[in-house]
């Protein structure tokens, strides 16, 4: 006899909502359902499986050890169903209404803008959403399939995903012209750790303390432009991409620090497609245009 499932996708989605929202009442508001119906659905799921998935303490519902395992597996299953339905929608409609592009902040966006300028006449009205990401925020975008295309630093590409090489961004430690370090001719990396460092906020929901964060004193900002404004006031040092600071170094506004061990960091960048099997035709076309722009640059051709 063919296998007949004991549970339904709706039951698993309700369980996920209860856990994510932190309780039955909160999940009921989120799903626009009655609290009693959610209680009944989860109770029936536990009865059908013969496994206790949730236990209620006070007003909050907590996963049991078995529930944690089952929930992880259920998320994979519901994601696959969503991808399958999205694939059907794309096949039916033929062109996605919105394309989401996640871009690591150290990537020179002018290249992306040139690709978008060529894509615009072909876009059929597709909305474009560009999302800035930093450090593990790029990894999160890939793993959670939050964008159609992701431009990430190669170390941020998680295992199981392939990144198409794009370019390499050089990062330099710099200070404002009035900073005490601007007068140094030679600087040891350990000396640098004694000074205030300006860092860019990781965009992940659960950021990790990674990168070149040697300094104990740190100020965290949202983007490179805020960092530059602070540096201009003679406060702190920061690792910044060459494309952003080359003119500021030329006119003397910023000073590159001469670190003996290494005064530059190379950040290779790659283009990742988190959901290749459900990627829409618009996203595919934009991806090809972006890769073509990088091919022009790599071949040394004039792209202006």
pLDDT tens figures, 24-70 = 888 899 899 999 999 899 999 999 999 999 887 777 778 999 999 99
DSSP secondary structure of 271-299: EE-TTGGG--HHHHHHHHHHHHHHHHHHT
pLDDT tens, position by position, 236-284: 999 999 999 999 999 999 999 988 877 788 999 999 999 888 888 999 9
Best CA proximity match to 234, nearest among 179, 170, 174: 179
Best CA proximity match to 266, nearest among 54, 40, 56, 106: 106
Q: Model-level pTM?
A: 0.69
Query: What is the arithmetic mean of pLDDT over 163-177?
Result: 94
User: Sign of torsion, CA 211 217 223 225?
Assistant: negative
**What are the structure tokens assigned to 285, written together?**
């076309």
The per-residue pLDDT for 303 is 46
Q: Are 101 and 149 in contact (CB under 8 A)?
A: yes
Rounded to 5°, angle at Cα 238 from 235 and 243: 125
pLDDT tens, position by position, 86-126: 667 655 666 888 999 999 999 999 999 999 999 999 888 88
Which residue do the tokens 């089952």 mark? 70
The per-residue pLDDT for 304 is 43
The per-residue pLDDT for 1 is 66
How far apart, in Å, do the first and last CA atoms of the chain sit?
66
* Distance of alpha carbon 256 from alpha carbon 173, whole angstroms: 6
């Amino acid at each position: 006899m063919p296998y007949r499932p004991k549970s339904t996708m709706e039951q698993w989605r309700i369980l996920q909502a209860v856990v994510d929202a932190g309780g039955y009442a909160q999940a009921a508001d989120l799903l626009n359902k009655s609290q009693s119906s959610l209680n009944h659905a989860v109770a029936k799921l536990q009865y059908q499986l013969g496994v206790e998935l949730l236990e209620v303490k006070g007003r909050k519902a907590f996963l049991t050890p078995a529930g944690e395992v089952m929930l992880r597996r259920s998320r994979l299953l519901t994601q696959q169903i969503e991808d399958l339905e999205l694939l059907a929608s794309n096949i039916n409609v033929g062109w996605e209404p919105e394309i989401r592009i996640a871009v690591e902040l150290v990537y020179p966006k002018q290249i992306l803008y040139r690709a978008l300028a060529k894509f615009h006449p072909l876009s059929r009205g597709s909305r474009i959403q560009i999302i800035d990401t930093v450090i593990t925020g790029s990894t999160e975008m890939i793993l959670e399939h939050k964008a159609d295309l992701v431009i990430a630093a190669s170390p941020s590409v998680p295992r199981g995903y392939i990144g198409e090489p794009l370019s390499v961004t050089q990062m330099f430690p710099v200070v404002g012209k009035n900073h005490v370090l601007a007068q140094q001719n030679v600087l040891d990396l350990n000396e640098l750790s004694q000074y205030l460092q300006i860092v860019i906020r990781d965009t992940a929901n659960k950021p990790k303390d990674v990168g070149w964060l040697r300094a104990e004193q740190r100020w965290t900002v949202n983007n490179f432009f805020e960092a530059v404004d602070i540096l201009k006031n003679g406060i702190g040092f920061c690792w910044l991409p060459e494309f952003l600071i080359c003119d500021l170094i030329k006119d003397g506004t910023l000073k590159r620090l001469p670190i003996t061990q290494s005064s530059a960091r190379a950040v290779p960048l790659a283009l990742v497609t988190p959901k290749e099997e459900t990627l829409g035709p618009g996203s595919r076309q934009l991806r090809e245009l972006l890769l073509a722009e990088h091919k022009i640059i790599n071949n040394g051709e004039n792209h202006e």
